[in-house]
Structure 1
Amino acid sequence: MKKKILNLGILAFAAALVAGCSDWTEAEPNNYFEPRPAEYYEQLREWKKTDHSVTFGWFGNWTGQGASPVNCLMGLPDSVDFVSMWGNWYGLSPEKWADKREVKSKKGTRVTICFIVANCGDQTTPQSVRDNWQANGFASEDAAVKDFWGWVDGDQAAIDAAIAKYAKSIVDTIDKYDWDGFDFDYEANYGSPGNIAGPNLGDSGDPETNRQRTNFLTFVKELGKYLGPKSGTDRLLVIDGEPQNMHPDARDYFDYYIIQAYACYSYSNLDSRYEKLLRGLEVGDDEALKQMVTERLIWCENFESYAADGGVTHTTRDGQTVNSLKGMAMWESQYGYRKGGVGTYHMEYEYSLAGHSIEYPYLREASAIMNPPMK
């Protein structure tokens, strides 16, 4: 097995931070909403900059206000590294602005927007273009949208320019609302094919098949000028859904590959998905690439359906029976590399669960497994 050699200075620094701030990775602290000293939050923000497996989630039903923090980003566990907003990411109320600003500045939690991209113009085409296509003389809504972006079927130069314009509109939206990046929900074979996502080519994880997705690659490269590890901006570009089926040349443009391993009953299912990801991204026998991909891999469970039990019943590699989110946190690569982290879909559904005295009990437990508190 390959083992990563850590710089001892960095390791010591990270250990000191965790030792000093064990509360945020504790599974059961006393009171998550009590006031904290400024030093606590300073150390928390610094710890989130260290090399560790992250805690993530898609957050919905956001209001930024209310008697209970269930609909507020500030109500999330301190250990959450970044969040993708599932809806409600534009037209922000003053309460949402304040909530987002506080969780970013105080806890160092990064917040991205998330939506499915199938076709050029998804989510950022002005509604008037879609509503008035007949009045404006177009044969269909699709034709009106293509005209707005400058897309001309069969003219690759025009298509590339339209894709660049669309990618920049997403970045402009991120700038306008002060988000920390974009979560590209990519589901070409799961029901959302299109002129950017590409056709439904099957969930094979075959890199040669996926090289047909040339518009996808153009789109990702355009986003990569402003977001992600190639941009130099420290703003996130992540992909969820089907990272194993994307154009393999897009591999280096993403900070994380998020896999929706919903209703995951055993480690063998995770191993199978992992191997498909490595195959789809053309990792081969390159150990450096294998390490990079593994450290960017985030497993996620569906808490819209399974929050009450922390997932489904899951069998670990060593034969333990646990909830599936815990199983994902316990999962380790067969090759010895650290995973990117774990997360949940509709994480807010775990805020208050019958039989539990704390909020987000399963997500806190998973975070503590990956990053054990040091006493």
Structure 2
Amino acid sequence: MKTKYLILFILPFLFFSCSDWTETEKIDIEKEQPAILAQLRARDMKKWAEERNLQKQEDEDTKAYNERIAKMYDKYWENIRAYKKSNHPIVYGWFGGWSATEGIPKTQLASLPDSVDVVAIWGGTTPFEEGSAKWADLKYAQEVKGIRVVLCWQTGTAGLGLPGTVEGFNERHKDKNNLEKAKQYAIELTDFIKKHNFNGYDIDWEPHVGNHRGCGNLYFDCENESGEGTNSAAPAKIFIEEMAKNFGPKQTTDYNPRGTGTLFMFDGELDDMARRFPEHGEYFDYFVEQNYNRVSEQYSNYMPMIKDYDKSKHLFSDEFEKAGAKGGVCHQVNGLSCAEQKAHFVKRNGYGGWAAYHIELEQEANYKYTRKVIRILNPRDIYNNFLP
């Protein structure tokens, strides 16, 4: 009973005390606001400073990483270019359909394996201007990869491959005879090559393929202007001598496109050169044999007749237009493709290298057989001083 009265006595004090506890203290916002905002600002600035420092560190780390990678690539390409200048069996390709079209690697020189030494623009090219896709692709191939790039087509008719067609050439030079046209052709072709910064020219010599016996061509002096007979190679001799002033081992000018040097090459019917103008062999850096159907050479009896011929200038070639998917047209032996067999033959016998007709068609297979040939001709133990 006493407990009951005690509780009743205490309750009013409890209610009174709780009301005191829950009464809200009034804050003067205008008075306190600057202090509050200062605290918030200090907090945020500290947070932002920490975030900036983290971002700065991340940016510096990224920059350092990118610089390190860039230096590695610079050193790699420097070594690749040094390798190209060393004495080794070369890898050469006739490149068709060159357009340097974005998104289509097989039209780009940049897509070639890094260790490819020389490429010919097969069939020639239309003129292009500085800053164009072709200009950029050629510049990258030469300056970065150290690839030398020449022009090449069947060189039988004066004016072929030049802007304006053969008809236009003949119209411009209708008062010239066969020999004079041959010289003028070399002059205009040289100008075209130098204007576009190519490294030189590869003469595809096939006088017995198709109908090439017409006046104004290089294969034969059909008008006998030389007095040596209609079978004379006088036009070809004049053409070669004029071209050789700017390209090849007998070059007399200082032409040096992008610091990569010049080349003058001869491919096709090497036996015809040996029979009709062997003394002009001295003007060429390389002789390319189109021995597509066989591994060994087919002109062994003729090549020693050519002036300044040496096995180190002699290239063997494969046909990839029809048989690129299997590495050439000749039969496989012991699981080795035609290209691999020729590479071993070249390496074993000290020849100058290997070539592929329509090398660009191998791009879809990531240049499978071209890379195999590179590894056979120049295995790692030979060029490890050049590659990281």
Give the TM-score normalised by structure 2. Answer: 0.68
Structure 2 stretches lacking a partner, 5+ long: 1-68, 223-228, 256-260
1:313 positional shift: 4.2
Q: Secondary structure at the match of 1:274?
A: coil
Aligned-partner Cα distance in 1 for 2:323–2:314:
21
Q: What does 1:330-369 align with in structure 2 at a 5 Å threshold?
A: 330-332=344-346, 338-353=350-365, 359-369=366-376
224, 229, 232: which one pairs with 1:212? Answer: 232
1:116 positional shift: 1.6
Q: Secondary structure at the match of 1:89?
A: coil
Aligned-partner Cα distance in 1 for 2:353–2:346:
11
For the structure 1 residues 321 and 250, does the alpha-carbon distance in structure 2 shift closer, same or farther, using more than 3 Å as the test?
farther
327, 330, 334: which one pairs with 1:310? Answer: 327
Give the fraction of aligned pairs with identical amino acids, expressed as a percent: 28
For the structure 1 residues 52 and 160, does the alpha-carbon distance in structure 2 shift closer, same or farther, using more than 3 Å as the test?
same
1:273 aligned to 2:299? yes
Partner of 2:128: 92
Aligned-partner Cα distance in 2 for 1:148–1:368:
49
**Can you list the C-alpha shifts for 1:80-117, whole angstroms capped at 9, x where unaligned?**
00100013522226111111111110010011111222
Q: Which has the higher helix share?
A: 2
Q: Secondary structure at the match of 2:93?
A: strand
Partner of 1:260: 290
For the structure 1 residues 237 and 149, does the alpha-carbon distance in structure 2 shift closer, same or farther, using more than 3 Å as the test?
farther
**Can you list the C-alpha shifts for 1:295-317, whole angstroms capped at 9, x where unaligned?**
1111111100010101134477x
Whose relative contact order is higher, 1 or 2, with alpha carbons under 8 Å and at least 6 apart? 1
315, 324, 328: which one pairs with 1:298? Answer: 315
State the AA in 2 paired with 1:122: L
Partner of 1:329: 343
State the AA in 1 paired with 2:341: G
State the AA in 2 paired with 1:310: G
Aligned-partner Cα distance in 1 for 2:184–2:350:
37
State the AA in 1 paired with 2:209: Y
Q: Secondary structure at the match of 2:135?
A: helix
State the AA in 2 paired with 1:109: I
- Asked if structure 2 preserves the Cα contact closer than 8 Å seen for 1:210 and 1:248, the reply is no
Aligned-partner Cα distance in 2 for 1:40–1:314:
37
1:222 positional shift: 1.2
Aligned-partner Cα distance in 1 for 2:112–2:246:
28
244, 259, 279: which one pairs with 2:271? Answer: 244
Aligned-partner Cα distance in 1 for 2:232–2:167:
29
Give the TM-score normalised by structure 1. Answer: 0.71
- Asked if structure 2 preserves the Cα contact closer than 8 Å seen for 1:240 and 1:259, the reply is yes
Q: What does 1:1-375 align with in structure 2 at a 5 Å threshold?
A: 37-87=73-123, 89-92=125-128, 94-124=132-162, 126-127=164-165, 130=167, 145=170, 148=173, 150-152=175-177, 159-191=178-210, 193-194=212-213, 195-198=217-220, 212-232=232-252, 233=255, 234-246=261-273, 247-264=277-294, 267=295, 270-279=296-305, 281=306, 289=308, 292-314=309-331, 320=334, 322-332=336-346, 338-353=350-365, 359-374=366-381
Q: Secondary structure at the match of 2:336?
A: strand
State the AA in 1 paired with 2:150: T
Aligned residues: 293
CA RMSD in angstroms, aligned pairs only: 2.9
Partner of 1:139: none
1:147 positional shift: 6.3
Aligned-partner Cα distance in 1 for 2:238–2:98:
32
State the AA in 2 paired with 1:251: G
- Asked if structure 1 preserves the Cα contact closer than 8 Å seen for 2:126 and 2:163, the reply is no
- Asked if structure 2 preserves the Cα contact closer than 8 Å seen for 1:243 and 1:277, the reply is yes
For the structure 1 residues 307 and 118, does the alpha-carbon distance in structure 2 shift closer, same or farther, using more than 3 Å as the test?
same
Aligned-partner Cα distance in 1 for 2:315–2:211:
22
- Asked if structure 2 preserves the Cα contact closer than 8 Å seen for 1:183 and 1:239, the reply is yes
- Asked if structure 2 preserves the Cα contact closer than 8 Å seen for 1:121 and 1:149, the reply is no
Q: Secondary structure at the match of 1:362?
A: helix
For the structure 1 residues 192 and 58, does the alpha-carbon distance in structure 2 shift closer, same or farther, using more than 3 Å as the test?
farther
Aligned-partner Cα distance in 1 for 2:319–2:297:
18
Aligned-partner Cα distance in 1 for 2:359–2:313:
20
State the AA in 1 paired with 2:173: F
- Asked if structure 1 preserves the Cα contact closer than 8 Å seen for 2:221 and 2:231, the reply is no
For the structure 1 residues 160 and 271, does the alpha-carbon distance in structure 2 shift closer, same or farther, using more than 3 Å as the test?
closer
Q: Choose 55-64 or 210-219, whichever is displaced more.
A: 210-219
For the structure 1 residues 260 and 50, does the alpha-carbon distance in structure 2 shift closer, same or farther, using more than 3 Å as the test?
same
1:271 positional shift: 3.4
Q: Which has the larger radius of gyration?
A: 2
Structure 1 stretches lacking a partner, 5+ long: 1-33, 132-143, 153-158, 201-208, 284-288, 354-358
Q: Secondary structure at the match of 1:352?
A: helix
- Asked if structure 2 preserves the Cα contact closer than 8 Å seen for 1:313 and 1:321, the reply is no
Aligned-partner Cα distance in 1 for 2:88–2:191:
30
Runs (4 or more) in structure 1 with deviation over 6 Å come to: none
**Can you list the C-alpha shifts for 1:265-290, whole angstroms capped at 9, x where unaligned?**
xx4xx2333333334x2x6xxxxx5x
